[in-house]
Amino acid sequence: MRRRTVLLVVAALATALAAGGALSATTSVTITTPKTNQKVSLHANPYLAVAGTSAFANTTAGTTRFFLRRDGCGTSSDNPHLSVTSGTDAGDGCGLVLNQVGLVGDAAPQAASTDFPASDGMPLAYDGSQPVTGQISLTGGQVGEAQVTVDLQALVEGNAVDLGSTTSTALLDPTGASTPVPFTIPANSSFAGSDVQALDLRVTIAGPNVYSGFMTLSGASYVDMPSYAASVNKSVLVSVDDPTFANAVSARLSGSTWSIAIPTPAVGKHTIYARSTQGYATSAPTSVVVSVTK
């Protein structure tokens, strides 16, 4: 478990660094009330109405496909990983982490597993109302039966969580170049709507077969993650005289508008700040200055 947690953290850091500008804000906010330089009487208005508009990225439900990829086979450049882009893999046809000898079932399950952490496509807005599907394509001797177990873990708010696992069994086809083994991991409502920072797919191959624990890659093996086009977690924060938003309060969202009533600050000039967030994206702040009178 510790090794997988480390893999998830490393994958999260790597994808964040690789994404760079891709993680910049896709949301924006404006303040329509009060107007800048507006005068507000503290006596007549113990509470100040603050309102505005906000824009967020589309959250249409769909699927994100991650391909199982490998840069080499049994070398320092092996690098099993998941990627949203497909291509020809130098490690196509690689076996398990433990070199297979004879029956796949002879190998200990832990040793006969390969972890594929996501190298891109993060963060992911996870739709836990739908199952995770995909396929692991096997090649090799193609003799006998294969049992393929896939286990999916994720990093959510810095914590490693289990999204589910399943085992699929397939009779291998000795007349074909490979045998695709479909799988389905049931929907996991516990993490519905979560913003996933990293993914790791562990593949374990066992069963009464000979020299068939090898995976066909180059687009043939993949996992389809139910997801939203953007995070469904949205908010607008309002802060008084504090551009760091250290003690900000959340406004009420209604479509493209937001509003909140805050205690009117003391007599004098004050700056009202607002910013919007969507998942890990944060907008540039906007502000207005108000003059509070007695």
Give pLDDT tens digits for 170-218.
898 888 889 999 999 999 999 999 999 999 999 998 888 767 678 999 9
**Which band of pLDDT confidence, cut at 50, 70 and 90, is reported for residue 52?**
very high
Looking at residue 17, what is its pLDDT?
A: 43
Predicted pLDDT at 99: 40
Lowest mean pLDDT among 26-35, 93-102, 120-129, 246-255: 93-102
What are the backbone angles phi and psi of residue 2, rounded to the nearest 5°?
-60, -40
Tens-place pLDDT, residues 259-280: 999 999 999 999 999 999 999 9
The answer to whether residue 105 scores a pLDDT higher than 90 is no
Average pLDDT over residues 215-237: 96
pLDDT at 32 over 90: yes
Q: Could you give the 3-state DSSP secondary structure of residue 107?
A: coil
Q: Is 259 buried (19+), middle (13-18) or exposed (0-12) by CB count in 10 A?
A: middle
Whether the predicted pLDDT of 240 surpasses 80:
yes
pLDDT tens-digit profile of 69-90?
A: 999 987 778 899 999 999 999 9
pLDDT at 110 over 60: no
- Residue of 258, 271, 292, 280 lying closest to 55 (CA atoms): 258
> Exposed, middle or buried: residue 128 (CB in 10 Å: 0-12, 13-18, 19+)?
middle
Residue 5 has pLDDT above 70, yes or no: no
> What pLDDT score was predicted for residue 212?
66
User: pLDDT tens digits, residue range 162-172?
Assistant: 999 999 998 98
The share of the chain scoring above pLDDT 90, in percent, equals 71
- Report the pLDDT averaged over residues 113-121: 94
Q: Return the number of other C-beta atoms located less than 10 Å from residue 273's C-beta.
A: 21
CA angle (159, 282, 224) in 5-degree steps: 50
Task: Count, in order, helices (H) and strands (E) of the chain.
Answer: 1, 22
23-58+232-293 maps to CATH 2.60.40.10: yes
* CATH architecture label of 61-228: Sandwich (2.60)
CB 56 within 8 A of CB 27: yes
Annotated domain spans of the chain: 23-58+232-293, 61-228
For the record, the structure tokens of 91 come out as 């490690």
Tell me the DSSP string of 86-103. Answer: ----TTTT---SSPP-SB
Q: d(Cα 264, Cα 43) in Å, to the nearest integer?
A: 9
Q: What does the block give as tokens for 186?
A: 């049931």
Chain-centroid distance, C-alpha 150: 18
Report the half-sphere exposure of 219 (CA within 13 A, side-chain side): 4
Query: What does the block give as tokens for 238?
Result: 């309002």
Mean pLDDT score, 16-43: 77
